[in-house]
Chains A and B, each alone.
Chain A
Amino acid sequence: MRSAREALTASSRAPLLSALGVITIAFSLFAFGLFGLVAINIRKALDQVEERVEVRAFLSDSTDIESVAAAMKDVGEFPEVNRVDYVSKEQALERARREMGEFADVFEAGVLPASIEVHLRAGQRSPAAVKSVADRIKTYHFVDDVRYGEEWVEKLYRMRNIATVSGIALGIAFATVAVIIIGATIRMTVLARAKEISIMRLVGATDMFIRLPFLIDGLVKGVLGGLLALLFVWIANRVVNEYFIQTIFFNRELIFLGVVGGALMGVLGSLVSVGRHLRRV
């Protein structure tokens, strides 16, 4: 309680420095937040593309419906498989006409085979997983051919890996910059109160007593900076939605995590700055 009052008094003694601290933290978290927003939107786009990864098994003309139903049941029980759909010759033709309207006349005759479409679960769409499912489906004697766009799946997978690795690397870089800036901001507060700290030590204040107001100060600045950054990111998101493309915003959990992260960075920055200062004097 006393430490909270002390932190408040210290802030009110140097309101400009405090405001500057909050704004600096807000901007560094804003950069991190913008990056996060881009990352979750790229991830969502990739997820949408990935949902289209499917294995299609073309059936020979003579296949009886019971065998197909039994095979579909088997395949549906593969751990990688989410859903299995049957596409009859007629449905295949209908779909081809719909998707490739300009070639509608080519599809006049019933030349397309029936097939089963196997949709995979999220996380089971790597080239290896897709190939393994395709290989197992190939073993049915009534399956003429299995296609899953091997090259396309591999490209998509590589892209996803690149996005994940660069996302993590950039995320760490942004977070590091944010921590350094927050640390430097709090260090300014510590230096501004260096004399006070030295007197506190001389008269016998404990290190914990000296640290606590700074930790509270860091926590409050972290939370306020986090909330301000959130507001900036929200505005940026609205602008992009209004004038450019449809994007998604952070969900509640991510917002909570962001603010808690800001608070943690504030506390950590304070801990490091005051700790270094106390060791030095």
Chain B
Amino acid sequence: MIRLTEVEKEYPRSGVALAHINFQVRKGEFVYLTGPSGSGKTTILKLLYLDDRPTRGEVWINGVSSKTASSGDISRLRRRIGIVFQDFRLLEDRSAEANIRFALEVTGAPKATIRSKVTRVLGQVGLASKATSFPREMSGGEQQRVAIARALVNDPFVLIADEPTGNLDERATRGVFQLLRDINAAGTAVIMATHDLDLVRRSNYRTIELNHGRIVFDSAESPAPARRFDEPLEIHDTPTGTESI
């Protein structure tokens, strides 16, 4: 479903951001991307939703290659991906319901289906009663739930979350995390970048750890417990070739 092969990303000013990135994500998998700030987590996520393209190597996602994708391919692909950010990225001048509706409207969804889809996802994230609330009237956790609802409304095959709990208190973090688990349990793959090690340790999902733009640990390859970032690191090569869906 998702495969990165020998991916490298280099920026003209800041230099190499990623090197020798190889991994695959299977359908319905839950994957943590961990690592200290600046280790390349966000860059990998950007490559996954083709907001950026690798300097070398290739990203395959749902049959679309980073080497050949046209802007039309990217638009179509993003309708099948849900993306969530730390800062929610909601439109402040629109209600929760309107924010979610917006994602359907701008992708040309049939009008007749919009209302029912919006109601469904609002229920799914536990915000049925907040449909008409504006972002400023909601807590951080609620705003992130609206963002997740917006990401879910197009029935994505994967949800990409970049530090979704980074701005939340512990209680809200637990709530959002539980929601992501539920979404995953319903069959949607989740790739979540986080540096919240407690969160990673508490669950048993696959963890890919990055440091200085390289994968230093992938629990799918060597099932060892996640370590602290400041512990000595051992570089693990992650060969490709396993079956991907």
Contact = CB atoms under 8 A, between A and B. Distances in A.
A204 B89 contact: no
Contact of A203 (B71, B93, B150): B150
Contacts of B93: 13
B71 A205 contact: no
Interface string B94-121: 0000000011011110000000000000
Q: Considering residues B79, B81, B106, which has the most beta carbons from chain A within 10 angstroms of its beta carbon?
A: B106
Given A203-B150, A206-B71, A207-B71, A196 B77 contact: no
Contact of B91 (A196, A205, A209): A196
Contacts, number: 46
Contacts of A199: 89, 91, 102-103
Contacts of B107: 203-205
A30 to B, nearest CB: 33
A198 interface: yes
A195 interface: yes
A204 B72 contact: no
A202 interface: yes
B207 interface: no
B78 interface: yes
B103 to A, nearest CB: 4
A202 B83 contact: yes
Q: Is the interface of A mostly helix, strand, loop or mixed?
A: helix
Given A203-B107, A204-B107, A209-B108, A195 B75 contact: no
Interface residues of A, number: 16
A275 to B, nearest CB: 12
Interface residues of B, number: 22
Contacts of A205: 75, 106-107
Contacts of A254: none
B106 to A, nearest CB: 4
Contacts of A202: 49, 78, 83, 89
A199 B79 CA distance: 12
B72 A203 contact: no
Q: Considering residues A198, A205, A209, which has the most beta carbons from chain B within 10 angstroms of its beta carbon?
A: A205
Given A206-B71, A206-B72, A207-B71, A200 B106 contact: yes
Contacts of B105: 2
Nearest to B105: A2
Interface in B52-80: 71-72, 75-80
A209 B81 CA distance: 19
B154 interface: yes
A86 B91 CA distance: 83
B121 to A, nearest CB: 13
A201 B102 CA distance: 12
Given A195-B89, A195-B91, A206-B75, 12 more contacts: A196-B91, A199-B89, A199-B102, A200-B106, A202-B49, A203-B103, A203-B150, A204-B75, A204-B79, A204-B80, A206-B71, A206-B72
7 contacts: A195-B91, A203-B106, A203-B154, A204-B77, A205-B75, A206-B72, A207-B75
